Amino acid sequence: MDTLRVRDAKDVEQVVRAAIANDQPLEIIGHGSKRQIGQPMATNAVLDLSALNAVVSYEPNELIITVQAGAPLADVKSLIDAKNQQFAFDPMDTAPLLGTAGIGTIGGMIGAGLAGSRRIKSGGARDHLLGAHAVSGFGDSFKTGGKVVKNVTGYDLSKLLAGSWGTLAVMTEVTLKVMPKPESERTLVLRGLDDIAANRAMTAALGSPFDVSGAAHLPASVFRPSGDALAALASPGQSVTLLRLEGIEVSAASRAASLTRLVAEFGAAEVLKDAVSTGVWDALRDVIPFAAGGALGAWPVWRIVCPPASGGALGRQLARETGGDVIYDWGGGLIWAAVPPRPDAQAATVRNLVEAAAGHATLIRASEEVRRHLDVFQPQAAGIAALAERVRQSFDPKEILNRGRMARGTPT
- Is 70 among the domain residues? yes
Last residue of a domain, one of 180, 205, 226: 180
We report the CATH number of the domain holding residue 333 as 3.30.70
- Is 5 among the domain residues? no
Q: Is there a single domain that holds both residue 300 and residue 281? A: no
Q: Is there a single domain that holds both residue 278 and residue 294? A: no
Q: Is there a single domain that holds both residue 92 and residue 140? A: yes
* Predicted local distance difference test score (pLDDT) of residue 155: 61
CA 147 to each of CA 131, 136, 152, 179: distance values in angstroms, whole numbers, following the listed order: 7, 21, 11, 15
d(CA 45, CA 47): 7
Nearest C-alpha neighbor of 242 from the set 224, 259, 228: 259
Entry pTM: 0.94
Q: Is there a single domain that holds both residue 167 and residue 194? A: no
CA-atom Rg of the chain in angstroms: 21
- Is 239 among the domain residues? yes
Please give the chain's pLDDT, 412 residues, in tens: 799 999 999 999 999 999 999 999 999 999 999 999 999 998 889 999 999 999 999 999 999 999 999 999 999 999 999 999 999 999 999 999 999 987 899 999 999 999 999 999 999 999 999 999 999 999 999 999 877 655 555 567 888 999 999 999 999 999 999 999 999 999 999 999 999 999 999 999 999 999 999 999 999 999 987 768 888 888 888 999 999 999 999 999 999 999 999 999 999 999 999 999 999 999 999 999 999 989 899 999 999 999 999 999 999 999 999 999 999 999 999 999 999 999 999 999 999 999 999 999 999 999 999 999 999 999 999 999 999 999 999 999 999 999 999 987 543 2
d(CA 248, CA 26): 48
Q: Which amino acid is at 161?
A: L
We report the CATH number of the domain holding residue 220 as 3.30.70.3450
Within 8 A by CB and 6+ apart from 154, the residues are: none
Residues of the domain holding 124:
48-180
- Is 386 among the domain residues? no
d(CA 182, CA 349): 41
Q: Is there a single domain that holds both residue 257 and residue 138? A: no
| H/E run at residue 387 | helix 382-395
d(CA 111, CA 336): 20
d(CA 75, CA 67): 11
Q: Is there a single domain that holds both residue 335 and residue 297? A: yes
Q: Is there a single domain that holds both residue 220 and residue 265? A: yes
Q: Is there a single domain that holds both residue 54 and residue 101? A: yes
- Is 37 among the domain residues? no
* Predicted local distance difference test score (pLDDT) of residue 410: 41
Last residue of a domain, one of 286, 307, 330: 286
Residue 95 phi/psi, 5° resolution? -55, -45
Cβ 239 vs Cβ 194: under 8 Å: yes
The tally of domains found in the chain comes to 3
CA 373 to each of CA 14, 38, 303, 311, 318: distance values in angstroms, whole numbers, following the listed order: 34, 11, 18, 28, 22
- Is 295 among the domain residues? yes
Q: Is there a single domain that holds both residue 191 and residue 153? A: no
Q: Is there a single domain that holds both residue 172 and residue 64? A: yes
- Is 31 among the domain residues? no
We report the CATH number of the domain holding residue 115 as 3.30.465.10
Q: Is there a single domain that holds both residue 276 and residue 293? A: no
- Is 22 among the domain residues? no
CA 88 to each of CA 119, 120, 182, 385: distance values in angstroms, whole numbers, following the listed order: 8, 11, 10, 31
Nearest C-alpha neighbor of 335 from the set 317, 314, 351: 314
Q: Is there a single domain that holds both residue 172 and residue 204? A: no
DSSP class per residue in 275-329:
HHHHHHHHHHHTTGGG-TTSTTTTS-EEEEE--GGGHHHHHHHHHHHH--EEEEE
DSSP class per residue in 362-385:
EEEE--HHHHHTS-SSPPPPHHHH
Last residue of a domain, one of 180, 205, 221: 180
